Amino acid sequence: MPMHNSEIADSFERLADLLEIESANPFRVRAYRNAARTVRGYPRGMSDLLEDGEDLSELPDIGKDLAEKIHVMVETGKLPLLEEVESRTPPALSELMKIEGLGAIRVKTLYKKLKVKSLDDLKTAAQDGKIREVSGFGEKSEEKIRKHIERYAGGQERTKLMDAEDIAKPLVEYLKKAEGIKDIIIAGSYRRRKETVGDLDILVTAKRGLTGKKGESSIMGHFTDYDEVDEVVSKGKTRSTVYLRSGMQVDLRVVPQVSYGAAQHYFTGSKSHNIAVRTMGVKKGYKINEYGVFKGGKRIAGETEKSVYEKVGLPYIPPELRESRGELDAAKEGKLPKLITLEDIRGNLHTHTKATDGRNTLKEMAQAASELGYEYLGITDHSKRLTVAKGLNKKRLLEQIEEIDKLNEKLDDIVLLKSIEVDILEDGSLDLPDSVLKKLDYVVGSIHHKFDLSRKKQTERILKAMDNDYFSILGHPSGRLINERDAYEIDLEKVLRGARDSGCFIELNAQPERLDLTDDGCKMAKEMGVKISIATDAHSSSNLNYMRFGVDQARRGWLEAKDVINCRSLKELKKLFKK
DNA sequence: GCCGTTTTCGGCCCGACTGTTTTCAGTCG
């Protein structure tokens, strides 16, 4: 079993924590954290890179030493230095640092003074009132620790973007009512449209005259008075942090208007993108922070994000690209993609109806799609193997084909396309015979069972399915459900190559809990010349609106309208489906 | 431990906020 990037990153982070507790050189500690971030965010597996003979020390923040450590980890599954450190410092101390308000120094103090070696020890010490007796701690610290142990135990899973929207939108509406608020934006990974977000970073500017002490604190007061606030962690003139009842952490920051762009840039991240931009600024003799771009103490830019990028000689970079995945080089060379927008979408190629597990009729789906301004809507009900969804057999599919033909005669502003989401069986054959598949406009094939095949077998299964003359689009290619079910193992590069060679397309499933293909997957597909279908897998007419989540993900994957088949006209699309 | 148009040594982001202090250390982002 090859070591996954996240496991390598976890080991580096644990090592960094323990070294920090041991008071190691802080820059060495940071080096491990930086390396962890690089490895965690790297689109390709370290083991794959090594297999291809790549030199890992070429990666940012990975030098000779860490390249060798990764090599050893991939080979043996072990990080000897971590084991050595863990033999003299209790490994669980690393976990204690995840408790809000506890850093390396305080964890070390509690370990030395109270022999706190684990979360349980910490809990007991807090309950017994021992912590307040340690110098440097007090009653309040002890109370906070007690509270945050519970919060930590309640889980620290990232929130799906759609759920984050449900939490953020009413809060933003509420904040807008605060006296003196001028602009408001949710920054952070929410603005980068990442599939999940950790916390909400809300940025506001206040009206002139109200940016003084009084205006800001009234905004903060309004914020912390919000009904859903469960706990106020900190509250200051320019920054406050709360936990909502949902468990979501929200940071609110107030900046003056002249700093709005710089602050947006700073708080939108990603961190590595910001560092790279700041470094470019330093080389030009500027200092860039959340308040602006400064030259010798004088602000020379910062009211808009565009002005910040301009000062370092770059065009505006859309938030979705700010992940240090090559966007700065592309921007320097004037090669940023012209990202796809929701308006580019002309149809939806994966939807279900009442015939299987959908909620609406063909006609209702057609009408809803027409209202969205679509030219076409593909109907892809399930095939017979999926009995729980009343999957269609040959006879019922033929009936649906007839029904669609009839309906199309009556519809004048939209065309329904005949299709199926056919199950890919374990051996790579399809769940319905070619004799019926060939009557369809196109075919979506998906895996709904046997998720646990080996990577090799799962890949071969898909490759074989795509070889079928009538196969058009691979549906939800990894099968993952965010926070619920891991992706099944596939060699995506091989699948993409297979798709290219057999004239197939890959779906970006826009369901907020799927978002499958990933952003990195989209980018890889684009680089390999494989086109994408962004589709909602709608099980009701209202689900058609999930398209925007798919478009967001596509933008994170650098996709342009020309990379997406459902940005084509119906005529062009039909040509694409002819193998 | 990484990095280099100030290149093999000497830097490595820093401001806001809290709590425990009595002028500041620790944490966070």
Spatial neighbors of A297 by CB under 8 A, at least 6 apart, are: none
Q: Which of A314, A332, A350 is the last residue of a domain?
A: A332
Q: Which helix (H) or strand (E) holds A347?
A: strand A347-348
Q: Which band of pLDDT confidence, cut at 50, 70 and 90, is reported for residue A214?
A: very low
Q: Is the pLDDT of residue A173 over 90?
A: yes
Window A230-249, strand B contacts by Cβ < 7 Å? 234-241, 249
Q: A268 CA to B20 C1', in Å?
A: 34
* Statement: the CB of A104 is under 7 Å from strand B: yes
Q: Are A41 and A17 in contact (CB under 8 A)?
A: no
Query: A95: domain CATH number?
Result: 1.10.150.110
Q: Comparing A162 with A325, which gets the higher pLDDT?
A: A162
* Statement: the CB of A87 is under 7 Å from strand B: no
Token pair 């798709």: residue: A499
Q: Is the pLDDT of residue A67 over 90?
A: yes
Spatial neighbors of A274 by CB under 8 A, at least 6 apart, are: A265, A266
Same domain, A560 and A423: yes
Domain that holds residue A194: 159-255
CA–C1' nearest nucleotide, residue A236: B17
Cα-to-chain-centroid distance, residue A578: 34
Q: Are A192 and A319 in contact (CB under 8 A)?
A: yes
Q: What is the rounded CA–CA span in Å between residue A408 and residue A410?
A: 5
Q: Domain for residue A196, yes or no? A: yes
Same domain, A322 and A422: no
Q: Domain for residue A164, yes or no? A: yes
Same domain, A328 and A378: no
Give the residue nearest to nucleotide B21 (CA to C1'). Answer: A136
Query: A367: domain CATH number?
Result: 3.20.20.140
Same domain, A326 and A346: no
pLDDT at A286: 86
Q: Which two tokens stand for residue A568?
A: 């084509």
pLDDT at A216: 52
* Statement: the CB of A35 is under 7 Å from strand B: yes
Chain segment A23-42, per-residue pLDDT in tens: 999 999 999 999 999 999 88
Q: Domain for residue A337, yes or no? A: no
CA–C1' nearest nucleotide, residue A97: B27
Q: Which of A275, A297, A332 is the last residue of a domain?
A: A332
Same domain, A420 and A293: no
Same domain, A138 and A200: no
% of chain A exceeding 90 in pLDDT: 85
Q: Which of A227, A255, A283 is the last residue of a domain?
A: A255
Same domain, A362 and A504: yes
Query: A306: domain CATH number?
Result: 3.30.210.10
How many domains is chain A partitioned into structurally? Answer: 4
Q: Which band of pLDDT confidence, cut at 50, 70 and 90, is reported for residue A213?
A: very low
Q: Domain for residue A61, yes or no? A: yes
Q: Domain for residue A479, yes or no? A: yes
* Statement: the CB of A144 is under 7 Å from strand B: yes
Q: What is the rounded CA–CA span in Å between residue A335 and residue A317?
A: 11
* Statement: the CB of A279 is under 7 Å from strand B: no
The residue type at A524: M
Same domain, A185 and A93: no
Q: Domain for residue A111, yes or no? A: yes
Same domain, A148 and A251: no
